Chain A
Amino acid sequence: MNGPSHGKLVRKLVLLAVGMFGFGFAMWPLYNVFCDLTGLGGRGVKVVESAGELQKSDRQVKIRFDATVNSGLPWIFEAKEKSTMVSLGEMTEATYMAMNPGNEAIVGQAIYNVTPPEASLYFVKTECFCFTEQVLQANETREMPVYYFIQPDLPEHIKEITLSYTFFRNESANAVALATARETDSE
């Protein structure tokens, strides 16, 4: 029989499959951009005009503070206050406490999240322990401050906002720390 040639069709289909493989990976950055812009991941970012010219508003919202430690990290971590009322546009400080009850230094990394997710677009942290990795020496307890304000254009229907942190063990940093500790020991 005279078989038709399938080359062209097959090439297109292979291309489709390869394209979809790429699309699978592309979903990762695409979702991230989408979440940043919409705040849906609870970690939205919105460009702030200059922080100095903030207008204070009379409107107040309740901020709750939540603290969680991942099971891989043997620390104690909590918020100093459970909640507070803040005025929109007012720079405020919140304090968390972290303690390492073990007998070796550990590097941790806090990841934050804002609920409702929409509010994350208006929640601006100017300074946060979550921006960098944190080292706690054996038996060290440390206060960890966050400086933040809520942008005055926060939508009306949002009355309460939860700021939540989870502390994780920073595996790669711990490996490095351990190696340097050994080096200093042997000197």
Chain B
Amino acid sequence: MSIESHDIAHDDHHDHKPSGFLDRWLYTTNHKDIGTLYLVFSLLMFFIGGSMAMVIRAELFMPGLQLVEPEFFNQMTTMHALIMVFGAVMPAWVGFANWMIPMMIGAPDMALPRMNNWSFWILPFAFTMLLSTLFMDSGGPAAGWTLYPPLSLQGGQSFAFVVFAVHMMGISSIMGSINVIATILNMRAPGMTLLKMPLFVWTWLITAFLLIAVMPVLAGAVTMLLTDHFFGTSFFNAAGGGDPVMFQHIFWFFGHPEVYIMILPAFGVVSEIIPTFSRKPLFGYTAMVYATASIAFLSFIVWAHHMFTVGMPLTGELFFMYATMLIAVPTGVKVFNWVSTMWQGSMTFETPMLFAIGFVVLFTIGGLSGLMLAMAAADLQYHDTYFVVAHFHYVLVPGSVFALMAGAYYWLPKWTGHMYSEKWGKIHFWVSAISVNILFFPQHYLGLAGMPRRIPDYSTQFADFNMISSIGGFIFGASQLIFVGVIVHCVYKSRQVATGRVWEGAKGLEWTLSSPPPYHSFNTPPVIDSTTIAHVEEAH
């Protein structure tokens, strides 16, 4: 599968795109087209997963059961998470990788263009399969995205579809990662040394290794669930001598690196945007690279912080507690460097910068609640409450998702050749940033007061905060329609032409190309000099 790359690059030296619709999109091997496909797909999934979240928040608007059956509610929480994690955030990052990595390192395309086409086109099938379970007799998966047995084994026949869908997503991610690594290691323009690469490229390189290391473990875990469910094995089935807690160990060996898979590229994007709008080079570039690498390494030895309540021995609790707290150190280094980059910079606040700053502030809140959860003694109280829900939504929504928005606004003029509406971009930011806090901040209090997660009904003492949270949720959900409006306007209507540089402070190879960039860019490798690239080693 690896040898094809040369022959493809040969056919079309000119800039024309394939003319037929199918030729252009279904058979495409062009990294820009595949990037677009990934991004559009993930936006669609973002709205499907988002409408499930609206169902959840509507049911939780008031105490009591009003809209949906509890069983369906459980399917909604499970599917919402699976779709958002595997369908929205991860493919969106792969979309960015496809669009940007070749342009950022001066390569003509991804290393393995045909495999690239495959990695994308598997996804619509995987998610059609996953979503189809909602229409089956036994319903969709309802045991939570973590698929813990024994509950996940008590579902019906549709469980097989869930497992195969997870397999397909995993294969897609692994192929995508192999492509990213091969591109970065083999296709850099001469002179683009590893320590001159933009931070987004670095974070993706490390993310790709994480993906190859842990997606297969998830595949193994769900395969064992599959055979336990349908073929009478007892890997996790206590009745047959298996151990349900062992599933949790295997799952979180995947699961914790997985949360970093969703956040590392976000770190990368924010590290591109903040220097541009602060008009200063990134503070501590090398430290950022090492911090990313150490976060990735540490993410393999903290998994049991998700399992403090299973009855581990004290030494285990202590080990995982300290290891988890250790992760906060490189994370803190990053936040420090972003703030230092802004310090005394001549800052302007265009939409990408607003989202990036929103990211730094709100992600940090999520990091701090993570530290609270990392304390084993405290986690016995917080585990499986809304406090955990608040924590991971702070790191994922105003974390990963804000970084995705920031990146989309940042590169949209480059991709389309038109400026988006700055006014509507800013409205989108402010409505999102305010409503996301109305949505998730009260959930901290709900959790501290003991409201359990994944429950469709609750005691009346939790009523007020839930109503506030739901209102925030509806506003946040609706405000994402603004985003779609801005994109559609930018692509089809905007008459304001973008220059190649787009942002006056932008550095990096992608900005040396026209906007939109030619269909095939960097067929001859660019000349790398310190004025065109973002990160020049400081010591000279």
Please report A residues at the B interface, Cβ cutoff 8 Å: 1-7, 9-11, 13-14, 16-25, 27-28, 31-32, 35, 40-41, 70, 72, 109, 111, 115-118, 166, 168-172
Contact = CB atoms under 8 A, between A and B. Distances in A.
B264 interface: no
Contact of A70 (B220, B239, B311): B239
Contacts, number: 113
Q: From B1, B220, B232, B245, name the one whose CB has the most chain A CB atoms within 10 angstroms.
A: B220
B241 interface: yes
B282 to A, nearest CB: 29
B249 A27 contact: yes
Contacts of B212: 13, 16-17, 20
Contact of B6 (A3, A17, A22, A24): A3
Interface stretch (B127-135, B178-186, B463-471, B526-534): B178-186
A13 B238 contact: no
B175 to A, nearest CB: 9
A166 B238 contact: yes
Contacts of A11: 2
A2 B190 CA distance: 13
Interface string B185-213: 11100000000000000000000000011
A5 B187 CA distance: 10
A16 B112 contact: no
A70 B219 CA distance: 29
B22 to A, nearest CB: 26
28 contacts: A1-B6, A3-B5, A3-B111, A5-B3, A10-B1, A11-B2, A13-B177, A13-B181, A13-B212, A17-B178, A17-B215, A19-B216, A20-B212, A20-B214, A21-B216, A22-B220, A24-B217, A24-B219, A27-B246, A27-B249, A31-B243, A31-B249, A35-B243, A70-B239, A168-B238, A169-B239, A170-B239, A171-B239
A176 B253 CA distance: 38
B313 interface: yes
B216 A41 contact: no
B241 A111 contact: yes
Contacts of B216: 17-21, 23-24
A31 B246 contact: yes
Contacts of B182: 6, 9-10, 13
B164 interface: no
Interface residues of B, number: 47
A24 B220 contact: yes
Interface of B: 1-3, 5-6, 9, 108, 111-112, 174, 177-178, 181-182, 185-187, 212-221, 223-224, 232, 235, 238-241, 243, 245-246, 249-250, 253, 311-313, 316, 523-524
Given A10-B182, A21-B219, A25-B220, A118 B313 contact: yes
A117 B313 contact: yes
Sort A-B residue pairs by CB-CB distance and give the 4 closest, nearest first. A24-B220, A168-B239, A21-B216, A20-B216
A24 B232 contact: no
B229 to A, nearest CB: 12
A117 B177 CA distance: 41
A14 to B, nearest CB: 7
Contacts of A118: 313
Contacts of B217: 20-21, 23-24, 27
Nearest to A38: B313
A127 B204 CA distance: 57
B250 A24 contact: yes
Q: From A1, A18, A25, A32, name the one whose CB has the most chain B CB atoms within 10 angstroms.
A: A1
B313 to A, nearest CB: 6
